[in-house]
Amino acid sequence: MLALLLILQAATGDIVVTGKRLAEAHAACVKGECTPLRDAQATIALAESRFREGAYRDAKRLLAAAVTRNRDKAGTDPKPVAALYEAYATVALHDGDTQTYRSAVARQVRTLRDNLPASDPTVVSAATALGDMWLKLGNYRQADLVYRSVEQDALATGQDQPAMLAGMKRVWLASTMQRTSAALSKLRELEARPLARQQGFGTALRVLRLRMRARDASDEEMQELAGLVGQGQGTDPILIWAPPYEQDAAAAASDARALARRFGEEDPLRIRSSDVGAIQWADIGFWIRPEGRTAEVEVLRSSPKNPWATSLLKQISGRRYSSQQPSSSDQVQGVYKIQRFTLRSEYVVPSGSLISRRVLIGGYEILDLTAGAQAADAAASY
């Protein structure tokens, strides 16, 4: 959400401040005294503040109301309206509200596609959002179908950039699913396209190939890869390898339920009406040193009673990022990051009940809270 706020501010040069003035600005928008752009700026900033405090439901309500106020302005102000949908989707995902998440992402994409030229960079970057949505929800097959459709449609209409983006998504997805041969074959196809000779896409393809190699690399090879990827990458390091997260009890229970469904067996861990998963989150801060290793990993703050946060420290400590050459003396420490981890959950209706409840399903939703975070690192699910 912070990335969205920065983009909206850059569009006009306006700065939305937090605190009392922010609340006043938002109140004016609620009264209908704001343009869609100003409403999006004020609401996303206020929702960001609520989200950081762990008040996910409050943030979601703020964004839902702003969407209602502005959705009929999509024809004249598509980018602010789409930004509201995207922020709404992000908070809904962390809240475990997958139905709202799916709907908001679909409306975000539709708003941009229906009201902007196909060549607009915003439309290009959103082309694969539906596939990303299915990927976050664990439906790899549907994600691949979306990426494939986007790529084919883009190639048919001469839109090289969205076709390349969708193709790269397909490569990484195939690699994640251990379809190494298919991933490498597709990668070679992308590298042969004329667009691959442009610096930005050429670098992205090189990063993709090196990230695939990193999975089986030794520590010495990892150090070499980190240096290769870091060349010409700017100031924000790129994650090229990370150890797996420890599986928690909720994840084990979800796997057991899925296995039972696959074989038509009775649910061994039936969800009861008394089972309620509270929102649990933690903010982890860490340095990414110039050589690509992490350091000083610590829990900065968290919701009450969540000892699981300490298990994240080992995972982050084992990450490897691209190496960077400090551009000034004040960058010798590297780059500092703060990431919000939320235990994944979803709303379900337990047997014998008519009321949906949030239950933990295992894994984490991750959001980069660091100002200026790259969009590629802004949100992820594990």
> Percentage of the chain surpassing pLDDT 90?
38
Most confident range (mean pLDDT) of 48-57, 81-90, 236-245, 278-287 is 81-90
pLDDT of 123 strictly over 90: no
Is the model's pLDDT at 51 over the cut of 80?
Answer: yes
Please report, as a single letter, which amino acid is at residue 136: K
Residue 17: inside a domain, yes or no?
Answer: yes
In a domain? residue 201: no
Q: Does residue 176 form part of some domain? A: no
HEC profile of 59-115: HHHHHHHHHHHHHHHCCCCHHHHHHHHHHHHHHHHHHCCHHHHHHHHHHHHHHHHHH
Residue 232: inside a domain, yes or no? no
User: Would residue 267 count as lying in a domain?
Assistant: yes
Instruction: Find, among 318, 316, 365, the residue nearest to 337 by Cα.
Output: 316
Res. 343: pLDDT tops 80: yes
How far apart are the C-alpha atoms of 163 and 175, rounded to whole Å? 19
End position of a domain, from candidates 126, 146, 164: 126
How many distinct structural domains can be found in the chain? 2
Is residue 18, in this structure, part of any structural domain at all? yes
Q: Answer with the one of 103, 126, 149 that is the final residue of a domain.
A: 126
Range in 1-15, 66-80, 107-121 the model is least confident about = 1-15
Instruction: Examine residue 320 and state whether it is found in any structural domain, yes or no.
Output: yes
CATH number, residue 9: 1.25.40.10
- pLDDT band per the 50, 70, 90 thresholds, residue 105: very high
Task: Name the pTM for this structure.
Answer: 0.72
**What's the rounded mean pLDDT across residues 9-27?**
62
Could you list the residue range(s) of the whole structural domain that residue 272 is in? 239-381
pLDDT in the model for residue 356: 76
Tens of pLDDT, residues 230-261: 554 455 788 888 888 887 655 555 555 555 45
Query: What was the pLDDT predicted at 266?
Result: 52
Whether 11 has a pLDDT exceeding 60, the answer reads no
Of the listed ranges 2-6, 18-22, 352-356, the one predicted with least confidence: 2-6
More confident residue, 240 or 281: 281
Domain C-terminal end among 99, 126, 153: 126
| pLDDT digit string, tens, across residues 289-319 | 888 889 889 888 888 877 888 889 989 998 9
CB environment 285-309: b (16+ within 10 A), e (fewer): bbebbbebbbeebeeeebbeeeebb
Lookup: tokens for 119: 């060549």
CA 42 to chain centre: 22
The 10s digit of each residue's pLDDT in 181-229 is 999 999 999 999 999 998 778 877 887 887 787 666 666 665 666 566 5
Q: To which residue do tokens 């829990």 refer? A: 299
Question: How far apart (Å, rounded) are the C-alpha atoms in residues 287 and 298?
Answer: 10
3-state secondary structure of 364: strand
Q: What residues contact 216, with CB distance under 8 A and at least 6 apart? A: none
- Tell me how far apart the alpha carbons of residues 350 and 338 are, in angstroms, rounded to a whole number: 36
Asked whether residue 197 is assigned to any structural domain, the reply reads no
What are the pLDDT digits (tens) for 23-33?
888 999 999 99
Give the C-alpha separation, 343 to 56, whole Å.
Answer: 13
Report the mean per-residue pLDDT for the chain. 80
pLDDT of residue 70: 96
Long-range contacts of 111-117 (CB under 8 A, 24+ apart): 111/74, 111/78, 111/81, 111/82, 111/85, 112/78, 112/79, 112/82, 114/74, 114/78, 115/74, 115/75, 115/78, 116/78, 116/79
Q: What is the share, in percent, of the chain residues with pLDDT greater than 70?
A: 74
| Cα 93 to Cα 365: distance, rounded to the nearest angstrom | 8
